Amino acid sequence: MKKTVKIFRKELKDTLRDRRTIMMMIVMPLVLVPLLITVVVTIQRSQMEKAEAKQLNIAFIGKEYVPELYGMFQIDERFYIVEGIQEDSISPMTSKGELNGAILVRPEFPDLISADKQGIVRIVYKSSEAFGIAENRLSEVVEKYDRKIVDNRIERLNLDKDLFDAVSIEKVDVASMKEKLGKLAGGYLPYLFIIFGFMGAMYPGIDLGAGEKERGTLETLLSSPASRMEIVLGKYFVVMLAGVTTALISMIGLYLAVRGIREIPPDILDAVMEMLGPKMVLMIFTLLLPIAAFFAAVILGLSIFARSFKEAQSIITPLNIAIIFPALIGTLPGIELDARTALVPILNVSLATKDMLAGTINPVYLLEVYVSLFLLAALSLWGCVKWFNREETLFRS
């Protein structure tokens, strides 16, 4: 064990001398995560303000049938009514962005309303438009007009308003703010420490395997009194430590980013701070350890297999896609942690993290996740050691 510790210290010292590794382990997650979140929030807020301030160009077909509704659009400064538009031109013009939307009213509308029946107002809009501004604004004005008609009918017929609302719905949401945020953001949070954990382990892993083979220093290490098992364990723990450190620093970056966003309401901020508190971070850390152990074993094994640093990069880098895919599945609605999903690597971490943050984790499924992850990590490490003991792999040229 002493020799393994010496190998670990030696490899860790060499790793920390590499500026590229330091950038990937510490600087990138600590700076990049807050920067990305700040930029995304700022851009989204700016785009929303721009969309809300934008005056929409609309067409109005059938204004002679609903002069009051037409007048409501005329006095609303959020709209500019483009005159002279033909009905058959509305859909293509809206699709191309020449119009933001349109209102269409048929000739029979006044007769239907006079007969206390239901008239149809057609709203044309483009659903792919940012934030659905056109649909929301057009619907808002039409709904106000509808409310006026209904109120007039009630007053004219001397009816009770409650007659038209036989059932009053009172919604009681028993989900806490923490639970709602956990379910909403919990599926995306694992992206952070899974991806950064992999990226943090990638460069040290490549350097301690293929890098040493390329530099010719691996032979010197093999000639030392340490056994191959002790050598591979020393390297393995350095790679694992790098992955865990990077993932934790990325979470610190997330914490700092959230603290820096002033627009977050206090109740939501309190719930977020509770989710990112020491207890929750410690629980997530217990999930992070075995997944980092798995990453370290896979990366180091592939790095030892590769002939050069460049070849190792070309083999390992595409694995980012393989890691993102199961994490992405965890964000889909309806995918929950159960006896089957608890056995799927990476996906189980994503789902378990989501339930942890929401405070709804099932202890049985959580235990299953731990067992499957540690078993996977142990098998990966065993495979890495076996790979390291093969001469034809170690000295490929």
- Give domain status of residue 52, yes or no: no
What integer pLDDT is reported at residue 296 of this predicted model?
87
What integer pLDDT is reported at residue 231 of this predicted model?
83
Compute CA 26 distance to the chain's CA centroid, rounded to the nearest angstrom: 21
- Give domain status of residue 197, yes or no: yes
For the residues of 76-108, what is the DSSP string, one character each?
A: -TTEEEPPS--HHHHHHHHHHTS-SEEEEE-TT
The last residue of one of the domains, among 127, 160, 193, is: 160
Closest CA to 289 of 387, 381, 357: 381
Structural domain range at position 152 = 57-160
| Sites in the chain below the pLDDT cut of 70 | 1, 14, 16-28, 33, 40-41, 130-131, 162-188, 258, 260-277, 333, 358, 392-397
What integer pLDDT is reported at residue 57 of this predicted model?
92
What integer pLDDT is reported at residue 169 of this predicted model?
65
- Number of separate domains in the chain: 2
Torsion of CA 234, 24, 252, 13, to 10 degrees: 40
- Give domain status of residue 375, yes or no: yes
What integer pLDDT is reported at residue 256 of this predicted model?
74
**Domain match, 214 and 152 both:** no
What integer pLDDT is reported at residue 82 of this predicted model?
92
Is 60 in contact with 103 (CB distance < 8 Å)?
yes
What integer pLDDT is reported at residue 72 of this predicted model?
93
- Give domain status of residue 167, yes or no: no
- Give domain status of residue 315, yes or no: yes
Question: SS3 for 61?
Answer: strand
What integer pLDDT is reported at residue 249 of this predicted model?
82
